[in-house]
Chain A
Protein backbone atom coordinates (compact mmCIF):
# COMPACT_ATOMS: atom_id res chain seq x y z
CA UNK A 1 0.00 0.00 0.00
CA UNK A 2 1.54 3.26 -1.10
CA UNK A 3 0.03 6.45 0.10
CA UNK A 4 0.79 10.14 0.00
CA UNK A 5 1.54 9.98 3.73
CA UNK A 6 4.10 7.16 3.59
CA UNK A 7 7.14 9.48 3.74
CA UNK A 8 5.59 11.19 6.77
CA UNK A 9 5.04 7.84 8.56
CA UNK A 10 8.56 6.73 7.59
CA UNK A 11 10.03 9.96 8.97
CA UNK A 12 8.34 9.43 12.36
CA UNK A 13 9.05 5.70 12.54
CA UNK A 14 12.73 6.26 11.77
CA UNK A 15 13.12 8.91 14.47
CA UNK A 16 15.16 8.01 17.54
CA UNK A 17 12.23 8.59 19.90
CA UNK A 18 9.93 6.29 17.92
CA UNK A 19 12.57 3.57 17.75
CA UNK A 20 13.28 3.85 21.46
CA UNK A 21 9.61 3.57 22.50
CA UNK A 22 9.09 0.54 20.21
CA UNK A 23 12.38 -1.24 20.50
CA UNK A 24 13.73 -0.55 23.97
CA UNK A 25 13.88 -3.47 26.38
CA UNK A 26 13.30 -0.96 29.19
CA UNK A 27 10.06 -1.24 31.11
CA UNK A 28 10.03 2.58 31.08
CA UNK A 29 9.55 2.65 27.30
CA UNK A 30 6.36 1.23 25.73
CA UNK A 31 5.03 -0.66 28.82
CA UNK A 32 5.15 2.37 31.13
CA UNK A 33 3.74 4.74 28.52
CA UNK A 34 0.73 2.53 27.80
CA UNK A 35 0.25 1.96 31.55
CA UNK A 36 0.15 5.73 32.14
CA UNK A 37 -2.48 5.87 29.39
CA UNK A 38 -4.66 3.44 31.40
CA UNK A 39 -4.21 5.48 34.61
CA UNK A 40 -5.15 8.70 32.84
CA UNK A 41 -8.22 6.94 31.40
CA UNK A 42 -9.37 5.77 34.82
CA UNK A 43 -9.10 9.21 36.46
CA UNK A 44 -10.52 11.21 33.53
CA UNK A 45 -13.34 8.88 32.46
CA UNK A 46 -13.95 7.51 35.98
CA UNK A 47 -14.07 10.94 37.61
CA UNK A 48 -16.24 12.35 34.84
CA UNK A 49 -18.60 9.34 35.02
CA UNK A 50 -18.99 9.89 38.78
CA UNK A 51 -20.00 13.53 38.17
CA UNK A 52 -22.39 12.38 35.40
CA UNK A 53 -24.01 9.78 37.65
CA UNK A 54 -24.44 12.36 40.41
CA UNK A 55 -26.13 14.73 37.93
CA UNK A 56 -28.44 11.85 36.95
CA UNK A 57 -29.41 11.34 40.59
CA UNK A 58 -26.98 8.82 42.11
CA UNK A 59 -25.70 9.75 45.60
CA UNK A 60 -27.98 12.82 45.54
CA UNK A 61 -26.88 13.95 48.99
CA UNK A 62 -23.39 14.64 47.68
CA UNK A 63 -22.74 18.31 46.89
CA UNK A 64 -22.39 18.71 43.13
CA UNK A 65 -20.76 22.10 43.52
CA UNK A 66 -18.11 20.55 45.77
CA UNK A 67 -17.60 17.75 43.21
CA UNK A 68 -16.35 20.48 40.86
CA UNK A 69 -13.14 20.43 42.91
CA UNK A 70 -12.37 17.06 41.33
CA UNK A 71 -12.12 18.73 37.89
CA UNK A 72 -8.35 19.40 38.23
CA UNK A 73 -7.89 15.65 38.84
CA UNK A 74 -9.76 14.96 35.60
CA UNK A 75 -7.67 17.52 33.70
CA UNK A 76 -4.51 15.94 35.11
CA UNK A 77 -5.75 12.60 33.76
CA UNK A 78 -6.34 14.24 30.40
CA UNK A 79 -2.85 15.79 30.38
CA UNK A 80 -1.28 12.39 31.16
CA UNK A 81 -3.23 10.84 28.31
CA UNK A 82 -2.51 13.60 25.81
CA UNK A 83 1.24 13.14 26.40
CA UNK A 84 1.22 9.32 26.63
CA UNK A 85 -1.14 9.06 23.66
CA UNK A 86 1.12 11.26 21.54
CA UNK A 87 4.12 9.08 22.47
CA UNK A 88 2.19 5.92 21.50
CA UNK A 89 1.31 7.60 18.21
CA UNK A 90 4.97 8.46 17.60
CA UNK A 91 5.85 4.80 18.23
CA UNK A 92 3.30 3.41 15.75
CA UNK A 93 2.01 6.17 13.39
CA UNK A 94 1.17 3.86 10.46
CA UNK A 95 -0.70 1.48 12.77
CA UNK A 96 -2.96 4.28 14.05
CA UNK A 97 -3.42 6.45 10.96
CA UNK A 98 -4.36 3.51 8.68
CA UNK A 99 -7.08 2.37 11.11
CA UNK A 100 -10.52 4.06 10.80
CA UNK A 101 -11.19 3.26 14.48
CA UNK A 102 -8.38 5.66 15.42
CA UNK A 103 -10.16 8.60 13.74
CA UNK A 104 -13.36 7.64 15.55
CA UNK A 105 -11.38 7.64 18.81
CA UNK A 106 -9.97 11.12 18.08
CA UNK A 107 -13.50 12.44 17.48
CA UNK A 108 -14.72 10.89 20.72
CA UNK A 109 -11.80 12.44 22.66
CA UNK A 110 -12.83 15.88 21.37
CA UNK A 111 -16.45 15.20 22.38
CA UNK A 112 -15.59 13.77 25.82
CA UNK A 113 -13.20 16.55 26.73
CA UNK A 114 -15.63 19.16 25.39
CA UNK A 115 -18.38 17.71 27.59
CA UNK A 116 -16.18 17.78 30.70
CA UNK A 117 -15.52 21.45 29.97
CA UNK A 118 -19.20 22.20 29.33
CA UNK A 119 -20.36 20.36 32.45
CA UNK A 120 -17.68 22.11 34.50
CA UNK A 121 -18.59 25.59 33.28
CA UNK A 122 -22.39 25.30 33.05
CA UNK A 123 -23.69 22.50 35.31
CA UNK A 124 -21.30 22.71 38.27
CA UNK A 125 -21.68 26.49 38.61
CA UNK A 126 -24.54 28.81 39.44
CA UNK A 127 -27.01 29.29 42.30
CA UNK A 128 -29.03 26.08 41.85
CA UNK A 129 -26.23 23.56 41.33
CA UNK A 130 -27.65 21.07 43.83
CA UNK A 131 -30.92 20.83 41.88
CA UNK A 132 -29.26 19.91 38.59
CA UNK A 133 -30.64 16.37 38.72
CA UNK A 134 -33.97 17.99 37.74
CA UNK A 135 -32.43 20.09 34.96
CA UNK A 136 -33.06 18.57 31.54
CA UNK A 137 -30.07 20.26 29.88
CA UNK A 138 -27.74 19.03 32.63
CA UNK A 139 -29.12 15.49 32.41
CA UNK A 140 -28.65 15.46 28.63
CA UNK A 141 -25.01 16.53 28.99
CA UNK A 142 -24.42 13.87 31.65
CA UNK A 143 -25.97 11.10 29.55
CA UNK A 144 -23.96 12.20 26.49
CA UNK A 145 -20.78 12.22 28.57
CA UNK A 146 -21.38 8.67 29.88
CA UNK A 147 -22.10 7.43 26.34
CA UNK A 148 -18.91 9.05 25.03
CA UNK A 149 -16.73 7.42 27.74
CA UNK A 150 -18.20 3.99 26.99
CA UNK A 151 -17.58 4.48 23.24
CA UNK A 152 -14.13 6.00 23.78
CA UNK A 153 -12.83 3.20 26.00
CA UNK A 154 -14.27 0.66 23.53
CA UNK A 155 -12.52 2.24 20.55
CA UNK A 156 -9.29 2.49 22.55
CA UNK A 157 -9.38 -1.20 23.38
CA UNK A 158 -10.34 -2.10 19.80
CA UNK A 159 -7.24 -0.32 18.46
CA UNK A 160 -5.30 -3.34 19.67
CA UNK A 161 -7.38 -5.71 17.55
CA UNK A 162 -8.50 -3.83 14.43
CA UNK A 163 -5.30 -2.48 12.81
CA UNK A 164 -4.15 -3.80 9.43
CA UNK A 165 -0.58 -2.43 9.58
CA UNK A 166 1.93 -2.42 12.42
CA UNK A 167 4.61 -0.33 10.72
CA UNK A 168 5.09 1.03 7.22
CA UNK A 169 5.20 -2.07 5.00
CA UNK A 170 4.69 -4.44 7.96
CA UNK A 171 1.26 -6.10 7.98
CA UNK A 172 -0.47 -7.24 11.18
CA UNK A 173 -0.55 -11.03 11.39
CA UNK A 174 -4.00 -11.83 12.73
Chain B
Protein backbone atom coordinates (compact mmCIF):
# COMPACT_ATOMS: atom_id res chain seq x y z
CA UNK B 1 0.00 0.00 0.00
CA UNK B 2 1.17 3.51 -0.88
CA UNK B 3 2.20 5.61 2.14
CA UNK B 4 0.14 8.81 2.38
CA UNK B 5 2.10 12.11 2.27
CA UNK B 6 1.10 13.04 5.83
CA UNK B 7 2.53 9.73 7.06
CA UNK B 8 5.76 10.27 5.15
CA UNK B 9 6.01 13.61 6.95
CA UNK B 10 5.30 12.13 10.40
CA UNK B 11 7.93 9.46 9.83
CA UNK B 12 10.48 12.13 8.83
CA UNK B 13 10.23 13.98 12.16
CA UNK B 14 12.77 13.82 14.97
CA UNK B 15 9.97 12.74 17.35
CA UNK B 16 9.25 9.65 15.25
CA UNK B 17 12.97 8.85 15.14
CA UNK B 18 13.24 9.24 18.90
CA UNK B 19 10.31 6.91 19.65
CA UNK B 20 11.48 4.40 17.04
CA UNK B 21 15.00 4.31 18.48
CA UNK B 22 14.12 3.95 22.17
CA UNK B 23 10.80 2.12 21.82
CA UNK B 24 11.63 -1.05 23.84
CA UNK B 25 11.87 0.83 27.14
CA UNK B 26 10.27 4.17 26.21
CA UNK B 27 6.93 2.72 25.09
CA UNK B 28 6.11 0.85 28.35
CA UNK B 29 7.05 3.91 30.43
CA UNK B 30 4.91 6.31 28.37
CA UNK B 31 2.01 3.82 28.36
CA UNK B 32 2.21 3.60 32.15
CA UNK B 33 2.13 7.40 32.42
CA UNK B 34 -0.90 7.44 30.06
CA UNK B 35 -2.68 5.04 32.45
CA UNK B 36 -1.85 7.30 35.42
CA UNK B 37 -3.41 10.17 33.49
CA UNK B 38 -6.58 8.20 32.75
CA UNK B 39 -6.85 7.21 36.42
CA UNK B 40 -6.47 10.81 37.62
CA UNK B 41 -9.00 11.97 35.03
CA UNK B 42 -11.68 9.59 36.33
CA UNK B 43 -10.66 10.32 39.94
CA UNK B 44 -11.26 14.05 39.45
CA UNK B 45 -13.69 14.81 36.61
CA UNK B 46 -15.45 11.46 37.16
CA UNK B 47 -16.00 12.10 40.88
CA UNK B 48 -17.26 15.64 40.18
CA UNK B 49 -19.75 14.19 37.68
CA UNK B 50 -20.85 11.54 40.18
CA UNK B 51 -21.50 14.23 42.84
CA UNK B 52 -23.61 16.23 40.38
CA UNK B 53 -25.50 13.03 39.53
CA UNK B 54 -26.34 12.51 43.23
CA UNK B 55 -23.56 10.29 44.66
CA UNK B 56 -21.95 11.68 47.85
CA UNK B 57 -24.47 14.56 47.96
CA UNK B 58 -23.00 15.75 51.27
CA UNK B 59 -20.18 17.31 49.23
CA UNK B 60 -20.62 20.98 48.26
CA UNK B 61 -20.18 20.91 44.45
CA UNK B 62 -17.99 24.03 44.44
CA UNK B 63 -15.53 22.29 46.79
CA UNK B 64 -15.15 19.12 44.72
CA UNK B 65 -14.70 21.35 41.67
CA UNK B 66 -11.24 22.10 43.16
CA UNK B 67 -10.19 18.70 41.77
CA UNK B 68 -10.90 19.77 38.18
CA UNK B 69 -7.57 21.60 37.56
CA UNK B 70 -5.80 18.32 38.38
CA UNK B 71 -8.05 16.57 35.88
CA UNK B 72 -7.23 19.17 33.22
CA UNK B 73 -3.50 18.68 33.92
CA UNK B 74 -3.93 14.91 33.47
CA UNK B 75 -5.86 15.54 30.24
CA UNK B 76 -3.09 17.77 28.84
CA UNK B 77 -0.37 15.25 29.81
CA UNK B 78 -2.31 12.43 28.18
CA UNK B 79 -2.90 14.48 25.04
CA UNK B 80 0.83 15.12 24.72
CA UNK B 81 1.59 11.44 25.35
CA UNK B 82 -1.02 10.56 22.73
CA UNK B 83 0.80 12.74 20.18
CA UNK B 84 4.04 10.87 20.98
CA UNK B 85 2.28 7.51 20.47
CA UNK B 86 0.81 8.71 17.19
CA UNK B 87 4.17 9.91 15.91
CA UNK B 88 5.74 6.60 16.89
CA UNK B 89 3.27 4.44 14.96
CA UNK B 90 1.10 6.76 12.82
CA UNK B 91 -0.46 4.03 10.67
CA UNK B 92 -1.44 1.96 13.72
CA UNK B 93 -3.55 4.84 15.02
CA UNK B 94 -4.79 6.56 11.89
CA UNK B 95 -6.16 3.40 10.25
CA UNK B 96 -7.86 2.29 13.45
CA UNK B 97 -11.62 2.50 14.17
CA UNK B 98 -11.15 2.42 17.96
CA UNK B 99 -8.77 5.39 17.74
CA UNK B 100 -11.15 7.29 15.45
CA UNK B 101 -14.07 6.74 17.82
CA UNK B 102 -11.84 7.85 20.71
CA UNK B 103 -11.12 11.15 18.93
CA UNK B 104 -14.82 11.60 18.16
CA UNK B 105 -15.73 11.03 21.83
CA UNK B 106 -13.07 13.53 22.89
CA UNK B 107 -14.63 16.08 20.55
CA UNK B 108 -18.02 15.38 22.18
CA UNK B 109 -16.36 15.88 25.58
CA UNK B 110 -15.02 19.22 24.38
CA UNK B 111 -18.46 20.42 23.25
CA UNK B 112 -19.86 19.21 26.57
CA UNK B 113 -17.24 21.18 28.53
CA UNK B 114 -18.18 24.28 26.50
CA UNK B 115 -21.85 23.63 27.32
CA UNK B 116 -21.03 23.36 31.02
CA UNK B 117 -18.88 26.49 31.38
CA UNK B 118 -20.40 28.59 28.61
CA UNK B 119 -24.12 28.42 29.40
CA UNK B 120 -24.35 29.33 33.07
CA UNK B 121 -24.58 25.68 34.14
CA UNK B 122 -21.33 26.05 36.09
CA UNK B 123 -22.57 29.23 37.81
CA UNK B 124 -25.68 27.27 38.84
CA UNK B 125 -23.65 24.32 40.22
CA UNK B 126 -21.33 26.65 42.17
CA UNK B 127 -24.27 27.94 44.21
CA UNK B 128 -25.50 24.49 45.29
CA UNK B 129 -25.16 23.75 49.02
CA UNK B 130 -24.34 20.39 50.62
CA UNK B 131 -27.10 17.84 50.13
CA UNK B 132 -28.72 19.70 47.24
CA UNK B 133 -29.88 17.99 44.07
CA UNK B 134 -28.53 19.36 40.80
CA UNK B 135 -31.00 20.40 38.11
CA UNK B 136 -31.85 18.06 35.23
CA UNK B 137 -29.76 20.19 32.86
CA UNK B 138 -26.69 19.73 35.09
CA UNK B 139 -27.33 16.01 35.41
CA UNK B 140 -27.54 15.63 31.63
CA UNK B 141 -24.24 17.47 31.08
CA UNK B 142 -22.37 15.62 33.85
CA UNK B 143 -23.96 12.30 32.83
CA UNK B 144 -22.71 12.81 29.26
CA UNK B 145 -19.28 13.74 30.66
CA UNK B 146 -19.03 10.55 32.73
CA UNK B 147 -20.23 8.34 29.85
CA UNK B 148 -17.94 9.99 27.33
CA UNK B 149 -14.82 9.70 29.51
CA UNK B 150 -15.52 6.05 30.26
CA UNK B 151 -16.05 5.65 26.50
CA UNK B 152 -12.69 7.31 25.79
CA UNK B 153 -11.08 4.89 28.23
CA UNK B 154 -12.78 1.91 26.52
CA UNK B 155 -11.72 3.05 23.04
CA UNK B 156 -8.18 3.65 24.24
CA UNK B 157 -7.94 0.15 25.64
CA UNK B 158 -9.49 -1.27 22.46
CA UNK B 159 -7.03 0.44 20.06
CA UNK B 160 -4.68 -2.55 20.16
CA UNK B 161 -7.46 -4.90 18.98
CA UNK B 162 -8.32 -2.72 15.98
CA UNK B 163 -4.80 -2.27 14.66
CA UNK B 164 -4.52 -2.51 10.87
CA UNK B 165 -2.88 -5.74 9.72
CA UNK B 166 -0.20 -3.98 7.72
CA UNK B 167 3.04 -2.29 8.79
CA UNK B 168 4.91 0.21 6.65
Contacts and interface: CB of A to CB of B under 8 A. Distances in A.
Given A39-B153, A50-B43, A63 B66 contact: no
A62 B55 contact: no
B39 A153 contact: yes
- How many of chain A's residues touch chain B, expressed as a range? 35 or more
A45 B161 contact: no
A39 B154 contact: yes
A42 B49 CA distance: 14
B46 A62 contact: no
Contacts of B70: 53, 58
A120 interface: no
Contacts of B154: 35, 38-39
Interface in A5-40: 27, 30-31, 34-35, 38-39
A35 to B, nearest CB: 4
Interface of A: 27, 30-31, 34-35, 38-39, 41-43, 45-50, 53, 58-59, 61-63, 65-70, 73, 149-150, 153-154, 156-158, 160-161
5 closest Cβ pairs, A-B complex = A46-B43, A66-B58, A59-B66, A69-B56, A42-B42
